[in-house]
Each structure stands twice: as structure tokens, then as C-alpha cells.
Structure 1
């Protein structure tokens, strides 16, 4: 009785200068979180934690290499509460929504990234994309922990599969993480994110090898999928880096940022599966039988 008198009813919360009554709860609300963004740290665990707990950048979670455990369970660092806005995405956009920091949870995965500095990688990707770049692998145990973490976040916030994105998806002009070594298909097989159907890819590839979509149409399709891209009808730098981000994720064996039938087929198969309504707005030229050019 004395304890109850001291603390007051459980539904009342005393704050500085007022009291909040929690008895009336509105059911009509949802999470502000719409996106889940994956990054790699491109540095060691110690350096990553030092940077991400500094004054300039942050993230909600850091996933270390699979060496830390607590009573047999893998350890994950949480640096920012999910209700708070972490500074991990920077200038970014997805599906027409800018400032992805405002609506996202960020996960930084401890991974060494490419075998050379970022500026050199950027230069090579733009000037000599055939150069072989070696990327640090993601250990299976680390991915298993990531899958558990992502399932937890996705279930609590109701994040749509198409809004599970790479940093390179939402900021393709300046970011390449988590890179082509990241196992997106492995996540899809675990029930996370998106992946095209093989038969749909084969069907569209057969059509596009005879008559590929015009570049303007391809730009419209990339924009419809979610990329921040302006339709110009030209293979400008922005289009090349968006294609590179798309290929790193869905066709990591060749991510030169050049348009080709296979990349277009993967993109159309994804739209067919997840955004079929957009295909009605996308027109691409069809080759007439016996003619040598598309109409």
C-alpha cells in the first residue's frame, strides 16, 4: 500500500511540470519506419564503432563479424534507438521519397569492402570498369545473424520487401555499399527482400535480345522500380551509376553500368512480380517479323 501511494497508478506518468494519463490509447497508428537500409563499414569493427559513435554519422545497428557471442548467441550492437533518426543514409531518395534518414532503420555490417580505397574504386568503375576488383566476403554466420535481426525489424515495422534496400540503391551517385559480394538472393531465400523469378527473366531476355527497350524506356523502368533518376534519353553519369547499383544487387557478375538485355530482363521481371501496374505504362519497341529494326 505504501509503495502504491508513492508511485501512483500505473497509467499515470509524472514528467517535469505535468502528468501524462496513458489510459486512452488510440488504435489508429503505425510505424514511421518505411525503409531498411543495408551498408558495409569498409573498415574494422573498432574503427567503425569509433566513427559511428562520433559527432557526424550514426546508425541504428552495427553487425560485427561472427566472433562475439553472449551465452552462445551472436552479439549485435545497437547505437541508436529505433524511434530516433540515425544519420546513416545522407542525401538519398527511394520511390520518390527523399531524406531516407527520416523513415529508415540503418544496419552497418562490418565488412572490408573492396580491396582498394573508395576513390580509386569510383575512378575504376567510371574509367576502366573491366578492372577486376576483389570484395571482402560476408561470412555465413554473419548473414544468419543479419537475417534474424532483419526479420525482427521488418515484422515490427511492417516494412515492404521492395523497401529493403542497399545504400547504393538510395544514393547511387555516391555510394556502392554493401557491394556486389553481398548475398541478396540468400536473404530472399530466407524471406527477406526481393528477387526476380527465373522464368520471367528468361522470357523478357528472349524478347529484349531481339529488341531491347529504348534507353528512355529503361530509365522510366528504373525510376518506376524506385531509383532516384531523371529521364533524359541519354546514357549520362546518373543513369550509369543507377544501372551499376542495380547490377551490383541483381547481376553482380557484371556491374559496369552499361544497359544490356539481361539487366533490362531482370528489371522487367521484378516489376512484373512486385509492381505489375507499372508495366501497363511502360512501352517498349517490338520488332516486326521480317524487319531489321524495332518499331
Structure 2
């Protein structure tokens, strides 16, 4: 692939061309925006890795802690950022998405906060991307949404509410955590099947078999990280279920 410099799609972005890209399969239209954290010790180290042929990974953009935005792959090209992933019945997430890496040390250490300057830059970048592509609000997603269990980013400290207030993404104020009935790993039966069907309808990869297994727990955790970050425990309590139900009501 050619590594000559290209004009940035986002005004003001620096350019660091990555060799790790290809054509979008079947000229797939872009209808998803995926947000990641870098999970590395430094932003410069993460950027170097994403622009290194040896890594075999890339992203369209990286947003540094000071708000600096660097573009590595043209939006028209297919960056290699999502890996083994799934949303709404499709597995080739890379062919339908724009990927944004956000510099943050991530898990398993204590998840750092995202600085205000960085979040402001993420908002501006996402707004710009949405102005160029027909991406539904419910298709602005976390890496962990499309790859539950395997991925945790951008994590429970990421401010999805701030993005939604700026017109980016799907959000509802999470239902308050309280007592009542809940479901957890090992439970079985029709209520579990109904819960799985709701997650499947929203877009997650999950088997609708009435068994609350490790994959179901991972999907619950991914949902909580994005939409109910006050407690991420993989337990489908009434707060989690009601928040999911209200999100579904807004898109179906």
C-alpha cells in the first residue's frame, strides 16, 4: 500500500500514514463509528505501533491526551482496528466502520480518567465524522460492544453522556441501581432467553438459548460499561434491564 501523505479528512489533523489498511469489502458503506483506548504506556508509543507494518493493526485516527488528533488511514479505506467482532448480524466490522483510538492506559490497571481537552477533541472529531457519513446514533459504539469478553475499551470512565449531549451516539440516563430481582451466571430459563433476545435485538453477539453463561455475562458487562457504568459486574439487575429496554424502545 502507498504511504504517501494524504489530505486529512478532519481539518487540523496531523498525518502519520499507516501501512496497515486495505479496501472496504464489497464497497461497504460506512455506518459505524467505533471508539477504542490505546491501552499502552504512552500516546507516542501507541501511534508508532499503529503506524508500524509489524503490528498489523491500525485505526483511522488517534486522539492524544492534549487533544491533538492524528489521522493514520483515509476514511475511505478499511483500517484494521476491530479484529474479531460482530454487530447486528455482521462480522466484518472493519469494512463498515471508522475507528478512533483514544490515548489512555486502560485496564487492567486503574483506568485513568480522560482529560477534558482530550474529550473535547473526541467530540469535535466524532461530529466531523458524522457530518460525512450516515451513521445512526445507535451505531456509535465501544470496541467492547462489538467484541464482548475479548475487549474492555474504552472502558467505564469514558464519558458517553458528554458525546450524546453533543449529538454523538445513543444514550439514556441509566435507571437507578436498587434492589429487586436479578439474573446472573448459572441461571437458566425463559427469563434468560428473553434477556438474551433483547441484547441480540440491540446488536450484541449472544446466543438466545436461555442459559446465562460466560458469554452472556460478558455482554452484560459490555453493556454496563457503555450504558450503566456506575457498576460493572455482569449481573443483569433491574437497573441494567430497564436501561436496555428504554434504549431499545428508542430505536425499534
Same fold (TM over 0.5): yes
- Of 162, 167, 170, the match for 1:186: 162
Count of matched residue positions in the alignment of Structure 1 and Structure 2: 217
- Preserved CA contact (<8 Å) 1:197 1:269: no
After TM superposition, the score normalised by the length of structure 2 is 0.81
For residues 232-256 of structure 1, what are the alpha-carbon distances to aligned partners after superposition, in whole Å with 9 as ceiling and x for unaligned?
2111111000000000111112111
Deviation at 1:270, TM superposition (A): 0.4
Q: Which residue of 2 aligns with 1:42?
A: 39
Residue 171 of structure 2 corresponds to: 195
SS of 2:247's partner is: helix
Does residue 242 of the first structure (1) align with residue 240 of the second (2)?
Answer: no
Provide the alpha-carbon RMSD of the alignment: 2.2
Where do 4+ consecutive residues of structure 1 move more than 6 Å?
Answer: 210-213
Within-5 A mapping of 1:203-282? 209=180, 214-275=191-252
Measured at CA, do residues 88 and 218 of structure 1 come closer, stay the same or move farther in structure 2, by a change above 3 Å?
A: same
Give me the whole-angstrom Cα distance separating, in 2, the residues matched to 1:241 and 1:114: 15
CA contact (8 A) 1:219 1:233 kept: yes
Identify unmatched segments of 5+ residues in structure 1: 1-29, 67-73, 117-133, 276-295
Secondary structure of the corresponding residue to residue 240 of structure 1: helix
Q: Distance in 2 between matches of 1:235 and 1:115?
A: 25
Q: Are 1:138 and 2:131 matched, yes or no?
A: no
TM-score (ref. length: structure 1): 0.69
Verify the 8 A CA contact 2:182 2:235 in the aligned structure 1: no
SS at match of 1:62: strand
Larger Rg: 1
Contact 1:93 1:170 in 2 (8 A): yes
Quote the Cα distance in structure 2 between the aligned partners of 1:227 and 1:269. 16
